[in-house]
Structure formats: structure tokens, C-alpha cells
Amino acid sequence: MGFSSALQSRAAHEALIVRQDAELRLMETMKRSIQMKAKCDKEYAISLTAVAQQGLKIDRADEMQGSLISKSWRSYMDELDQQAKQFKLNAEQLEVVCDKLTHLSQDKRKARKAYQEEHAKIAARLNHLTDEVVRKKSEYQKHLEGYKALRTRFEENYIKAPSRSGRKLDDVRDKYQKACRKLHLTHNEYVLSITEAIEVEKDFRNVLLPGLLEHQQSVQESFILLWRNILQEAVQYGDLTADKYKEIQKRIDTLIGSINPTEEYGEFTEKYKTSPTTPLLFQFDETLIQDIPGKLQSSTLTVDNLTVDWLRNRLQELEGAVRDCQEKQLKMIEHVNGGSPVANGSIISNGSNTSNGIQSNKDSLCRQSKDLNALRCQEKQKQKLVDMIKCALNEVGCEELPSGCDDDLTLEQNFIENGYNNEQQISLSTNRPLYEEEWFHGVLPREEVVRLLNNDGDFLVRETIRNEESQIVLSVCWNGHKHFIVQTTSEGNFRFEGPPFASIQELIMHQYHSELPVTVKSGSILRRPVCRERWELSNDDVVLLERIGRGNFGDVYKAKLKSTKLDVAVKTCRMTLPDEQKRKFLQEGRILKQYDHPNIVKLIGICVQKQPIMIVMELVLGGSLLTYLRKNSNGLTTRQQMGMCRDAAAGMRYLESKNCIHRDLAARNCLVDLEHSVKISDFGMSREEEEYIVSDGMKQIPVKWTAPEALNFGKYTSLCDVWSYGILMWEIFSKGDTPYSGMTNSRARERIDTGYRMPTPKSTPEEMYRLMLQCWAADAESRPHFDEIYNVVDALILRLDNSH
């Protein structure tokens, strides 16, 4: 277990500093004790010498000549004298040991100081950026208030101005445009500061702090190794040869020999073990742009005529910073390969040698690796910003830059639309309206357009809304996908880079027949027009009659097709939704168009020629199954309820065979016709794959209908739909009751994870409830597939029919 993974929290850092202080105090205690022992050994040596000299003072020694006792005594006294000299020598060596311990203590203090400074340095970088994000947000709020005030003044003066002109109006407009520019620049600075803070925090947590802790662990273990060697020396010079001292010495040797540097901090690390530091969450404050019309989007750079030059300059600065980091890394690697030491910041300066020899190749390499990691982090942080700006600039592609003030340059149009100008807008017309051309696809989103253009030269024309203005776009497949906005001349003609034409049709036909590139830079040539698919209907062919419901994206209407007089159901998509939401709206139509089953609601077509986008489906007169169950609760028979379960199983069996995961199967998302036949509907969350992993969070997930593995791990398979089907069965037999009634979503999840399952609704056949429980098996692989479910329900209905 290492410092880098276990000691990242602030509490662990402070505990490590406290531990080092305690080790320094222990060193001082050891040093004083060894000094005292050396002093005692010297005094003992002096006393032994005095004893020996005293013992050799034998009066009239000649009288004892030849005596064995006298000879033994003299030898004994000589040995005592030799023993005194040895004690004196050991005492002198213990003083040397004390000096080594002093040097070790000094080096350890330096190492602790270096660690504290390095830790404070990398933490200060994160703290600085955190403060910077707060400061940028404060600036954003300040400029936002100024912008709103000037916008209000401009609107008031514009309404009051009799001719929509005048010096005062121009002065207000000029101030308003400046405020708009400043707001957008502040927006981009705020976005970049958040992005940089995210990268710095990520590197602090994953690279810099672990690297510093790993280096610190290496230094600490080096000290422990030296410390152990010093203790072994101290013990060696106190070794006595008497049996009882040998036993003591043996025990001491065993104890000191058991010191292992790699295990020294095991108990300490376990005691202060913490989880890796929780990532700081940097998010764009979306309340800043709630009241701003236009294209300012959270965490997204705004590329327009007000910001493009600033972004390009910022890009150059960041690219220079990236190159600088790369050059520094290269120089550092060359130093390492050439054997040159990295002296800057190392614990011991180049060329110095303490008596303890603390500097080692391992320490030097650790230091170099840590510095190199820091440079790599800086490069990655800057590169993240470079990529973000490049992506924003490149996303515009071949289209024109949008206007900088979303509402500034189109404010007159807004006033017209809101009734401030009663004059009728005049548009150029041709013999045949553009929307009647087969290669005109209306407001079909770019994602759908890219799907249709597969070969070089494929093209179509569509409409896009940019800065609240409608623009006609030519989309071409040519070395990728390119999109060209049709330019309008001052005379009201249309062009790209070539000559102007009176109508868009003439312009497109010229490009098609001449085989000239749309623009010289792109080289794109028009070769094959891609016509509308059969399910792309004309908006004018659909007559909305009455609103019959509300969906996630807009209202649902009963409608009629002019061409066939057929009654249909129409889902509409609100015009104000962003393109991403419109793409999700059309996803249901994209899935339904390829399905044909009596228990799946049928798609008739989609309308994308103009706003609002619409999905046209068969009209199922019984309406929502949930509403039907509640309204007809008294009249439903068990046979009808089982038939509804069979219909739903048949539809889901068909979807399972097509590798379609519905993800939102519930009574509210099923329809029922007048013959009680159930049809699966609402494919807004569906995915056409065998397994789907949620990557965008668990927002808007129907918790009480969703399988545990999908809630806990975001993993969806057809067996998750089986769990939801069990809830649908419960809804049918409870005649529209709410599942897990009285429980919150979180409480229901807790109960389900502990094994709770809803009790059987009143009058439910035992076999049907048993099937529900099988659908609610905790192990997904233990649940039946829809083919098996259908067969079981069908057999039960057949048995019920035969019994009557």
C-alpha cells in the first residue's frame, strides 16, 4: 500500500507532517540517550582503569613470586585495563554515531520542508484556478447585468423612435452592441477557465499529488534505511561478551534486524488511509444565460464575428505554450539520457555529499520523473484548451460565421414577428416553390442529413435556424460532409462563390450541370441529388385538429392527412428546442419507420419541411393504456387483462427479435384500441442494439419501472425490458394503480435491492403473478425472454377459454 493512492486527502497530508515531526523528536531522544551512554561508558572506562591500577599495587610483590594466585590476579587486572580501553574506544565511536544521527536529523528536516513547499505549490495552483473560476463568474454576472440593462434601453428607444433611426437610437445601439461583445468575451473566458480548472484538478488528483507522495515515500524509506544502520552501529559499540549480555544483545539484534523500511509505514498508512480525493466539480452556471436569447450555450465556446479573432489569438498563445512545454520535456529527457543531474529542486545540491549519503540514483530519478510529470500535465491542460478552441472553430466548417449578437442584428425581425411592425415581409418567388423540390429536405437536422449523404457528390438542400434567422444550406458529401450557406446579394439574388441567380433552384441547377466546385477551397462538386425519403411528408399535407396530449418534446394532436383523409396522431417538436433535442425527437421516427407489427404503433411519416417538426403515426382511438385502465376499471374482465398482457408480449417479442431495447415500457407508453388490443408506443428512449450502456447520466429515468442492473450500472439489455414488462403486468391487473405506492424512488430502489417485490394485485391469476415474479428476478439471466413470456400467456388464455 503506497502513499500515492492512500494519502491524498488533506487530513492524511497533515498526519504525514505530524508523523515526520514525531520522527524528528524521536531522533533527538535517541541522540541524547546515546550521548548519555557514551558519557557513562567513558566514566566506566576511567573507573575500570583505576580499579586495575589499584589492583596492581601489591606490597612486597616479590614475596608472592611464583604464586599462581598472584599471577592470575595480575592477568585479571591487565584484562580489566584492556576492557577499560575497549569501553573508551566504544564510547568514542558512539559519539561518531551521534554525529551521524545529527546529520540525518538535519537532512530529514530539509526533506520535510521540501515536501511541504512542493505540496503547497501544486495545491496553490488548484486554489488559484478555483478562485479564478469564481472571479470569472462574478465578471460574467456584472457584464450580464449591464447587457440586460442596455438591451432594455435599446428596445424602449427602438419602439419609441418613429423612423427606427436617429442619433439617440444609434448611440443606444452602439452601447448595447459593445455590452454584447463584452458579455460574449467574458462568456468564453469563463468557459476556458472552467475547462482549465477541470484539467488542473484532474492532474492534481491523478498525476501531481500521487507523484509527489510517491517521491516522498521513497525519501522517507531512504531515511528509515539510514536510521536503521545508525542504530545497528550504536548497538554494535555497546556489545558485551558476558553470557547475560550476549542474551540481551541477541534479543536487541533480533529486534533491530527486524526493521524493514518498506514495512515501516504500513500501520501508519492503514490508520490514516482515506479514499482518493473527491474531484472538485466545475460546472458552468446555467442561470447566467437563462434570460439571453441566441446561441450562448453552457460550457460551449461561442464562435461569431465578435469572438473569432479573440479565439484565434488565444489559440496561438496556447499552441505556443504547448510547444514550450514540449521543448522543456525534450531537454529534460536529454539531460537524463546524458547522465546530467537535475539539481533544481533536488534535496541535495549537485556535488555535495553528506556523511549519510542521502542522495542516491533512486531519489534523483524520482525527482526527475516528478518534474517531467508536472510538465506533461501542463502540456495536457493547455492542449485541452487548444482542442476545445479548434473544435469550436472547425465546427463552423464551410458555413459563414454566425452573427455575434444573436438578437442584435435580427432585433428588427423579432419586432416584426412580435407585432411591432405590421408591414408584410416580401420574399422572392419562382414558378415552383422551393419546398416542392424533391431534393429540398426542409429543417431536417444535420445529423439526419449526414446519414443520407454517403458517396462523394451526394447533395441536398435544407433549412437551418442560425441566430434566430432562417438560412438555406447546401449539404454535400465530399471528403467528409460540408455545409454551405446560400449567400443573398444586395439585389436579392443567390450565390456561392460564382455568379448570382434569381432563385435557389437556378443556383443549385447551375452548380449541378456546370460541375464547378461550390467553393475553390472545398473542391466540392454536385453529382447526385438525394431526394426526400418516402416517409418525409409535407407539413402542408397535415391538418392539426385538436390537442389530445403532451409529450416530452411538444404537444400531441389528432390530425387529418389531406391526401388520404386519414385520421392520424401527430407528435410535434417545440421550435425553441435545441438541435440536440430535435435529433432525439426524430430518433423515435427513425426507429418506428422500419417496424411493422399489429402490436407496435405504426409510423406514417415525419414532416421536416418547415417548423414545427412532426412525427405522424396511426391514431389509436382508445388512447393511453394507463388512462383506459383507470376509466374502465369496473368493466375489465380477467380475460381482457390477460389479452392485454399477451398483446404487449407480442409487440415486445417483435422488438426483441429486432435487437431493439425500449427502455421505457409502461402502461402510460402503450396505446389501446377500441377492441382492447394493446400497441407499444413512445420510442423516445429506445436503442437499436443488443446492449446499451448509459453514458449521459440517469436523468429522466423511470426508476420504478427500471431493472436494478440498469439503475445501478447503466447497463440496458432486452432483459431490462422484461423487468419493465413485469411492472406493466402489475399495472394491468391493478387496473392502473401506481407501482410501489407511497414509496419515493430512492426508497423503492432500496427495498428492491434487499429483495422486496410488490404483492399480487387483487383477483390476479396465480400463474400470472408467478410470471411477474420471474420477470423481477434479481439476476437478469434468470428472467424469461419475451418469446417464452408470450407462449406462457397465450397458453394460459387458451386454457381459460377452454374452461368456459
Q: Report yes or no: 474 and 461 within 8 Å, Cβ to Cβ.
A: yes
371, 664, 682, 721: which is the annotated catalytic residue?
Answer: 664
Tell me the C-alpha distance between 100 and 63, whole Å. Answer: 53
pLDDT value at position 697?
45
Tell me the C-alpha distance between 529 and 460, whole Å. Answer: 6
pLDDT value at position 178?
92
Active site residue 664: yes
For domain 438-524, say whether CATH 3.40.50.720 is its number. no
- What DSSP state is assigned to residue 523? -
Tell me the C-alpha distance between 37 and 27, whole Å. Answer: 15
pLDDT value at position 607?
86
pLDDT value at position 40?
92
Position 354 pLDDT exceeds 60: no
Q: Tell me the backbone φ, ψ of residue 720, rounded to 5 degrees.
A: -70, -40
Position 402 pLDDT exceeds 50: no
SS3 476: strand
Q: Which helix (H) or strand (E) holds 567?
A: strand 567-572
Mean pLDDT within 121-128: 90
Please name the amino acid found at residue 63: E
Tell me the C-alpha distance between 597 and 658, whole Å. Answer: 12
Cell of 266: 504500513
Q: Using alpha carbons, list the distances in angstroms from residue 527 to 306, 450, 458, 530.
A: 36, 16, 6, 10
Tell me the C-alpha distance between 106 and 451, whole Å. Answer: 70
Tell me the C-alpha distance between 719 and 709, whole Å. Answer: 10
Topology given in CATH for the domain delimited by 536-618: Phosphorylase Kinase; domain 1 (3.30.200)
pLDDT value at position 698?
46
Residue 477's pLDDT band (cuts 50, 70, 90): very high
Ranges 91-100, 613-622, 628-637, 685-694: which has the least confidence? 685-694
Residue whose entry in the numeric block shows the C-alpha cell 599462581: 68
pTM beyond cutoff 0.95? no
| Segment 550-597, tens digit of pLDDT | 877 889 899 999 888 899 999 998 887 777 777 778 777 777 777 889
Residue scoring higher pLDDT (619 or 535): 619
| Segment 630-676, tens digit of pLDDT | 999 888 999 999 999 999 999 999 999 988 888 889 999 899 998 88
Mean pLDDT within 506-512: 93
pLDDT value at position 701?
80
pLDDT value at position 361?
67
| Segment 236-257, tens digit of pLDDT | 887 776 565 466 557 667 766 7
pLDDT value at position 313?
85
Q: Report yes or no: 571 and 556 within 8 Å, Cβ to Cβ.
A: yes
SS3 760: coil
Position 192 pLDDT exceeds 90: yes
Show binding-site residues: 548-556, 571
pLDDT value at position 468?
61
Show binding-site residues for ATP: 548-556, 571
**Which of 44, 58, 53 lies closest to 81 in space, CA to CA?**
53
User: Any idea of the CA torsion for 106, 110, 116, 122, to the nearest 10 degrees?
Assistant: -170
SS3 534: coil
Ranges 124-138, 444-458, 648-662: which has the least confidence? 444-458
158-163 long-range contacts, Cβ below 8 Å, gap at least 24? 158/411, 158/415, 159/415, 159/420
Topology given in CATH for the domain delimited by 3-346+358-385: Substrate Binding Domain Of Dnak; Chain:A; Domain 2 (1.20.1270)
| Segment 28-76, tens digit of pLDDT | 999 999 999 999 989 998 998 999 888 888 765 566 666 677 777 877 7
- What DSSP state is assigned to residue 173? H
Residue whose entry in the numeric block shows the C-alpha cell 389530445: 548
Mean pLDDT within 711-724: 89
For domain 625-803, say whether CATH 1.10.760.10 is its number. no
- What DSSP state is assigned to residue 436? G
Residue scoring higher pLDDT (528 or 287): 528
Residue 421's pLDDT band (cuts 50, 70, 90): very low
Residue 296's pLDDT band (cuts 50, 70, 90): confident
Residue ranges of the domains in the chain?
3-346+358-385, 438-524, 536-618, 625-803
Position 347 pLDDT exceeds 90: no
Mean pLDDT within 203-220: 89
Sign, CA torsion 130/134/139/144: positive
Helix, strand, coil percentages, rounded to 5, for the chain: 55, 10, 35
**Which of 521, 461, 465 lies closest to 494 in space, CA to CA?**
461
